[in-house]
């Protein structure tokens, strides 16, 4: 059984790197990739993903705020280059 996943990251390099990892993982199926949480918010409810790779620091709507809006069945893996978000990611 494959897990449908999506990626949300405002950095194009990170977005492409995460996409390459997903494509190399046999049990992951990429349902969408988004350069902002606002863009994902408009599209993801229709796709119902199992797993979301979500950047924390993004303009407009950050990943922590967006994670509270995601369907409760969706599991979230926070992705960030900033260690100050480590504790918030576990909450």
pLDDT in tens, 32-46: 999 999 999 898 878
Domains and CATH numbers, the chain: 3-52+63-90 (3.40.50.2300)
Q: Which ranges in the chain belong to alpha helices (H)?
A: 12-24, 37-47, 63-67, 86-90
Contact 52, 74 (CB under 8 A): yes
pLDDT at 82 over 80: no
User: Tell me, what's the pLDDT at 23?
Assistant: 96
Apex 48 CA angle, 3 and 90, nearest 5? 70
Prediction pTM value? 0.86
Contact 43, 35 (CB under 8 A): no
What CA–CA distance (Å, rounded) separates 15 from 11? Answer: 6
């Amino acid at each position: 059984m494959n897990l449908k996943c999506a990626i949300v990251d405002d950095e194009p390099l990170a977005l492409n790197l995460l996409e390459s990892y997903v494509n190399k993982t046999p049990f992951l199926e990429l349902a969408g990739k988004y350069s902002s949480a606002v863009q994902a918010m408009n599209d993801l409810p229709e796709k119902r993903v199992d797993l979301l790779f979500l950047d924390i620091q993004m303009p407009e709507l950050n990943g922590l705020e967006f994670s509270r809006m995601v369907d409760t069945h969706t599991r979230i893996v926070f992705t960030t280059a900033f260690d100050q978000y480590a504790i918030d990611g576990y909450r």
